[in-house]
Amino acid sequence: MSFPLRTLKLSAFLLLGAGLSLHAQELTFLGGMLPRANLERSSVTWQVDYRQDLYRNFAGSIAYINEGHVTGHHRDGTAWQVWGRLPFNEDLLSVSLGLGGYYFFDTQPLPGGDTANVHGMAPIYSLSATGYFSNRWFWRAMVNRISPANDIKVTTATGGVGFWFGRERKPTPGKLGDAPDEDSYVTDPELTFFGGQSVVNTFLSQEARAYAGEYRRGVVPHVDWTASAIYEGDPKIIRRSGLATQLWFVNSFFHDRIAIGGGLGPYIYLDHHHPAGAGAKNPAAVAPLASLTFSTRLSAHWIMRLVFDRVTSSYNRDADIFLIGLGYRWRND
């Protein structure tokens, strides 16, 4: 995957806030190395982590982890974890231990030049250290151990910076921050048109221009529904397009100026370049579509929105879709 696409993926993958009245919403960007160990070579790795306190010294998180490229494997995935936290120095420094599940996507070569998209679940164990160096910014160092039963076992070591979303400007002992002001936030109806790029998850990472249109509206506070039309372009090995509907968990910050969220739903598609031996020539089929979004308000009615989609296929043609769009919002107030 090219560097611009990695940058776009990092920008688009702002992890979702659950929208509950919880504390210490922390978004962290980390980069580092996948040590060689028993692998044939080391690799660069990075992750985006969203962590939210559930109780004092007990938190939950969701993270996207890209393990880089090692011989025979291009693996990434999403980790869901619970954390125990030990604070020091009036909550300005802490050490945390995390445990959870990691759903991964591993692109592996096949004889004859084709590619397999291997999906699976693995346990993940993590250790992190966090320190605040300003009112809202902090540093974090993290080590992950990923141990699938039937795939490579790796250890990632990363470090990076994060931002704390809270009403108060500074962590204080016993209180790491309040939930955002918009506890009753419901997304107004909006229509957005997107352009961007799709990348098929093979060892050649074939790319194409992609386009989409989306209608979005809030259902209840912090839950959106969308209907989308998606065209993934023509990267030669697929030519896929279709319709998707999703439910999203969303949260807003800074008086509705910024919103982030994550969605899941079915994607009904038609692929005109279905690979030989995978069924009918032009099958209409359904695939899970998992997405993340970041939006910023430009004016009372206009917004800019980033979307990252992951299409999970059943015939070794998984794809990532990176989209940026301009939308119009009909405000209810």
Q: pLDDT tens digits, residue range 270-302? A: 998 876 555 555 567 899 999 999 999 999 999
219: left (phi over 0), alpha (psi -120 to 50) or beta: alpha
From-to residues of CATH 2.40.160.20 in the chain: 22-165, 190-329
Q: What is the dihedral of CA 137, 250, 15, 180, to 10 degrees?
A: 10
pLDDT at 16: 41
- Between 2.40.160.20, 3.30.43.10, 3.40.50.300, 3.40.1350.10, what CATH number should domain 190-329 receive? 2.40.160.20
- DSSP annotation of 283 reads -
Q: Evaluate whether 319 touches 232 at the Cβ level (below 8 Å).
A: yes
Residues in the chain where the model's pLDDT stays below 50: 1-23, 173-182
pLDDT at 2: 42
Phi and psi angles of residue 36, each rounded to the nearest 5 degrees, phi first: -65, -50
pLDDT at 281: 53
pLDDT at 22: 41
β-pairing, 190-200 vs 43-55, is unpaired
pLDDT at 56: 79
The CATH number of 22-165 is: 2.40.160.20
Provide the CA 258 distance to its chain's centre, in angstroms. 17
Phi and psi angles of residue 158, each rounded to the nearest 5 degrees, phi first: -135, 160
Instruction: Give the gyration radius of the chain's Cα atoms.
Output: 20
Separation CA 117–CA 151 (nearest Å): 12
- Whole-model pTM? 0.82
Separation CA 312–CA 326 (nearest Å): 26
Q: Evaluate whether 324 touches 196 at the Cβ level (below 8 Å).
A: yes
pLDDT at 54: 80
Burial degree of 97 (CB within 10 A; 0-12, 13-18, 19+): middle
Separation CA 177–CA 42 (nearest Å): 38
CB atoms within 10 A of CB 35: 14
For residue 322, give the nearest of 301, 304, 307 by alpha carbon. Answer: 307
pLDDT at 280: 52
For residue 291, give the nearest of 242, 247, 234 by alpha carbon. Answer: 247
